[in-house]
Structure 1
Amino acid sequence: MLHIHFTADDRARLRLAERADPLWETVLSLHQMIRPDPFFAAWRRRTGAGLAAAGAGADLRLLTTLAPRSSYFPDFLTPSDDDGHPPDVGTGIDRVLSTGKGRLRTEIGRLASGMPRPPAWLDDFAAGRPRALHRLGDALRRYHAVALAPHADRVAADVRRDRNDRARRVLRHGGEAVLGALGASARWRPPVLEVDYPTTQHLRLDGRGLTLVPSFFLHDHPIALADPSLPPVLTFPVSRGPLWIPGHARREEDGGGRAGTALDDLLGPTRAAVLRSLDTRRTTSALADRLRVSPSAASRHATTLRRAGLVDTERRGGAVLHSRTALGTALVHGT
């Protein structure tokens, strides 16, 4: 659990960034390349094919090693201004590459300590060797050009819509209303914001305020920087539009073959995503939160799948729980 402790001054200095941060989006999209949520399955297929065509496989391996989908990745990969506001992508990459050697050594060391067999080349990054940093800058630029730049309009539109909704909430109910609407994994219990987290952390703002940074590619709980001495930032997932099928790349194969795209064709992309998400039993609200749809839409899709024999639904106390049937699992895995 992450506990963010507010003072009265911190509540007055709560800020909402105007746009997504391109470096946070880079890191969080890398996590979707490692293990995609259903919303990003088609994007991952298209991006994987684009990176392969560009000969950028080594870039992807480098970046996913530096930014694993785990409880820790280095803070220097997601720099911000002193006031927490996102830089543009070029400025952000320049700041990554200008990280001081002491900080590189500390953060790379912490990353390596969590790896069973850290690669030897991490020592070059920890030492701040120019050749290693030059390699990192090139990898970040190439990855951003293939994975993020083609989708900038969609990302900006969803972030803008989400920000406008939150701004209206502030006008009606005050600034703290934003803290109570950061998703099912976050709870505002004045003066503490609690976030479901893989580790136990306490972030005391001590009058510095907090900048909320919207993210399109973040799919789970909000994320803070690991170093509490840095300007406090909390990145949170925006409410997105319809299930994302970028371009016309639905026929691209992904590892096991065409089962994923065939399932989209058979059920429709949203119901296919619902079925994929039920790899573990979920409540209606958890399913809705995972797919970024309304609870009524999640319930409607689950009901349709249940009638087709693909989903089981049971009521337990005040909750409605959904799980896949054997037939539903066979369809997901193409068997």
Structure 2
Amino acid sequence: MHFSAGDLARTRIAEQPDPLWETVLSLHQLREHRREPVLDGWRRRGCARSVRALRLLSPLMPPRGYFPDFLTPAEASGGLECGIDAVLATPRGQLRAEIGLLAACNPLPHWARPLSEGNPRTLHGLGRALREYHRGVLAPGWPDIASRIEADRRHRTDAQCRLGTAEMLRTFAPMLHWQPPVLTADYPVERDVHLAGRGLLLVPSYFCRDRPVALLDETLWPVLVYPARAPHPGQLADPGARLAPLLGHTRAAVLQALQEPRTTSELARHAGVSLSSASEHASVLRRAGLVASTRQRHCMHHTLTQLGSHLLSGMLKGC
């Protein structure tokens, strides 16, 4: 991937998990029978509705080689329903071209032809299958998926804020190699992608494995999906539980609730404490340098400082 200075300025990390990329990549893992907590749970449940969805989706998402770009639209960054709406609104020309590419290397079922022609009934059947698969396979384990992706996102964005985008790209080594102005990845086929001032959206994924994945159509907005880092073995799933002996259970809960900026009333609601208690604990954490507070009109807004973020994520050295 070839960058210009403008591309570096427009490169960013996706703000939340992409439900359609996770759908495609989890389906790949499901058929490879790798051990994954989310998929192991699905296998144990044997959800019949998800099995039907799997049968419909599998031909469109082969575990090796090409799968259609229209299955992972950029709109899915807004959530599952936004993504499915975009899939259903795919122009017929794109459907025809991408399913044609898929058919060149893979046998497809009889309904693939009406899908390539934009048949509304077939498209809505695809939408139902995507919802059923997400509900049966991904939704039960979505907190774990989101937690790993958020931890990775915080790691990358922290490096980007402190050191700049060029240095943030070095955090992907050895999976990606940054030799300005080119970002190189081990990839099944040789490709050169010129970002041409559009920047790059980096999407951390729970189910992406071994190497990153990119869209084939270079006229679409450049996206690179990569494996989110697994948590450090020494990190607990609940950082609040680790901090409780140091801060006390209530103050640890208040700190943990500030993983997103909140007003005092929002903080009280998410931490499960009274308004006065939330204000008091925020003041103590602010004096300790873990929280920053600013007044906007009649509300006090609280955010984690860099120190507070590092402490909560378990990344603070020597703690």
Shift of 1:146: 1.0
Please give the per-residue CA displacement for 1:34-85, whole angstroms capped at 9, x wherever unaligned: 11434x1x433321343x333432310221110111121100000014xxx8
1:106 aligned residue (87, 97, 113): 97
Kindly tell me: are residues 37 and 49 of structure 1, through their superposed partners in 2, closer, same or farther at Cα, counting changes over 3 Å? closer
Structure 1 distance, partners of 2:154, 2:104, is 41
Partner of 1:94: 85
Partner of 1:67: 61
Structure 2 distance, partners of 1:111, 1:34, is 18
Q: Say if 1:22 and 1:87, in contact at 8 Å, map to a contact too.
A: no
Partner of 1:35: 32
Shift of 1:242: 7.0
Q: Which runs of 4+ in 1 moved over 4 A?
A: none
1:170 aligned residue (136, 141, 160): 160
Q: Say if 2:212 and 2:227, in contact at 8 Å, map to a contact too.
A: yes
Is 1:21 matched up with 2:39? no
2:172 aligned residue (160, 165, 182): 182
Please give the per-residue CA displacement for 1:230-277, whole angstroms capped at 9, x wherever unaligned: 01111111112379xxxxxxxxxxxxxxxxxxxxxxxxxxxxxxxxxx
Partner of 2:5: 8
Structure 1 distance, partners of 2:38, 2:149, is 18
Correspondence 1:148-159 to 2 at 5 A: 148-159=138-149
Structure 2 distance, partners of 1:100, 1:53, is 33
TM-score (norm 1): 0.66
Partner of 1:284: none
Structure 2 distance, partners of 1:185, 1:167, is 18
Considering Cα pairs closer than 8 Å and 6+ residues apart, tell me whether 1 or 2 has the greater RCO: 1
Q: Say if 2:203 and 2:225, in contact at 8 Å, map to a contact too.
A: yes
Kindly tell me: are residues 190 and 20 of structure 1, through their superposed partners in 2, closer, same or farther at Cα, counting changes over 3 Å? same
Q: Say if 1:74 and 1:108, in contact at 8 Å, map to a contact too.
A: yes
Q: Say if 1:183 and 1:221, in contact at 8 Å, map to a contact too.
A: no
Structure 1 distance, partners of 2:232, 2:60, is 31
Q: Which moved more, 1:171-180 or 1:92-101?
A: 171-180
Corresponding letter in the other structure for 1:140 = L
Kindly tell me: are residues 136 and 44 of structure 1, through their superposed partners in 2, closer, same or farther at Cα, counting changes over 3 Å? same
2:140 alignment partner, SS class: helix
Shift of 1:89: 0.6
Structure 1 distance, partners of 2:207, 2:215, is 17
Partner of 2:73: 79
Kindly tell me: are residues 34 and 96 of structure 1, through their superposed partners in 2, closer, same or farther at Cα, counting changes over 3 Å? same
TM-score (norm 2): 0.69
> Counting helix residues as a fraction of each chain, which structure ranks higher?
2
2:81 alignment partner, SS class: helix
Kindly tell me: are residues 103 and 205 of structure 1, through their superposed partners in 2, closer, same or farther at Cα, counting changes over 3 Å? same
Is 1:235 matched up with 2:225? yes
2:110 aligned residue (120, 129, 138): 120
Structure 2 distance, partners of 1:5, 1:53, is 44
Q: Say if 2:203 and 2:224, in contact at 8 Å, map to a contact too.
A: yes
Kindly tell me: are residues 56 and 153 of structure 1, through their superposed partners in 2, closer, same or farther at Cα, counting changes over 3 Å? closer
2:74 alignment partner, SS class: coil
Larger radius of gyration: 2
Q: Say if 1:224 and 1:233, in contact at 8 Å, map to a contact too.
A: yes
Structure 2 distance, partners of 1:223, 1:53, is 29
Q: Which runs of 5+ in 2 are unaligned?
A: 234-319
Q: Which runs of 5+ in 1 are unaligned?
A: 244-335
Q: Say if 2:60 and 2:68, in contact at 8 Å, map to a contact too.
A: yes
Counting aligned pairs with the same residue, the percent is 44
Is 1:147 matched up with 2:141? no
Instruction: Provide the alpha-carbon RMSD of the alignment.
Output: 1.7
Count of residue correspondences: 233
